[in-house]
């Protein structure tokens, strides 16, 4: 998790975006260790996602939360679909180092591309070549304009 966070900081720094880690909470939610994410479609979440994303202790309204889990059902590296007003994502602990930045990218409004040099590759972040992966200028603009990011 620390490695994923450091990797996200590295990639976002190339876009002039600083990422701060504000708080950590260890949750004991055994039935959500393998969390049902359905089709993992933005704007559509399962009952298990609603329950999981209800956990936002010590987190501001616009803060992004990552829930580390053993697996998603069906199996993905992560999933950025989240309940309205609870920005965040699920990431599998064994996912690639780039998964956290990729999923938070989705939360901030950027989408898949078919290019394994880029963070938002839709081909799986384990397949990223030439690390650190790129954020292109149009993606940076979207990240900066997201209501969830703010000027330093
Ligand atoms: Zn994705």
pTM: 0.96
Q: Residue 108 — very low, low, confident or very high, per pLDDT cuts 50/70/90? A: very high
What distance in angstroms lies between residue 97's CA and the mean position of ligand 1's atoms? 14
Question: From ligand 1's centre to the CA of 60, what distance in Å?
Answer: 24
Domain spans in the chain, listed from the N-terminal domain onward: 2-145
Calculate how far, in angstroms, residue 102's C-alpha sits from the geometric centre of ligand 1: 6
Q: Averaged over 13-18, what is the pLDDT?
A: 94
pLDDT per position as a tens digit, 37-76: 999 999 999 999 999 999 999 999 999 999 999 999 999 9
Query: Average model confidence (pLDDT) for the chain?
Result: 96
If DSSP states are collapsed to H, E and C, what string results for the chain?
CHHHHHHHHHHHHCCCCCCCCCCCCCCCCHHHCEEECCCCECCECCHHHHHHHCCCCCCCCCCCEEEEECEEECCCCEECCCCCCCCEEEEECCCCCCHHHHHHHHHCCCCCECCCCECCECCCHHHCCCCCCECCHHHHHHHHHCCCCCCC
How many Å lie between the centroid of ligand 1 and the Cα of residue 103? 6
**CA 113 to centroid of ligand 1, rounded, Å:** 9
Share of the chain above pLDDT 90, in %: 96
The average pLDDT across 107-117 equals 98
Is residue 8 over pLDDT 80?
A: yes
- Rounded distance from Cα 111 to ligand 1 centre (Å): 7
Ligand 1 centre distance from Cα of residue 63 (Å): 20
Q: What is the distance in A from the centroid of ligand 1 to the CA of 81?
A: 10
- Structure confidence at residue 1 (pLDDT): 73
In angstroms, what is the span from residue 121 Cα to ligand 1's centroid? 7
Q: CATH for 2-145?
A: 3.40.390.10
The band of 116, judged by pLDDT with boundaries at 50, 70 and 90, is very high
pLDDT surpassing 90 at residue 151: no
């Amino acid at each position: 998790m620390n490695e994923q966070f450091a990797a996200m900081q590295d990639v976002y720094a190339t876009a002039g975006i600083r990422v701060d880690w504000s708080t950590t909470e260890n949750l004991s939610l055994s039935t959500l260790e393998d969390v049902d994410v359905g089709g993992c479609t933005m704007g559509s979440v399962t009952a298990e996602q609603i329950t999981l994303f209800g956990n936002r202790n010590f987190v501001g309204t616009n803060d992004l939360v990552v829930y580390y889990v053993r697996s998603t059902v069906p199996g993905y590296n992560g999933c950025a679909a989240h309940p309205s007003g609870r920005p965040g994502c699920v990431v599998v602990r064994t996912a690639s180092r780039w998964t956290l930045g990729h999923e938070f990218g989705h939360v901030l409004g950027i989408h898949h591309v078919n290019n394994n040099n880029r963070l938002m590759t839709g081909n799986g972040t384990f397949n990223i070549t030439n690390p650190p992966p790129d954020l292109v200028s149009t993606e940076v603009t979207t990240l900066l304009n997201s209501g969830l990011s703010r000027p330093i």
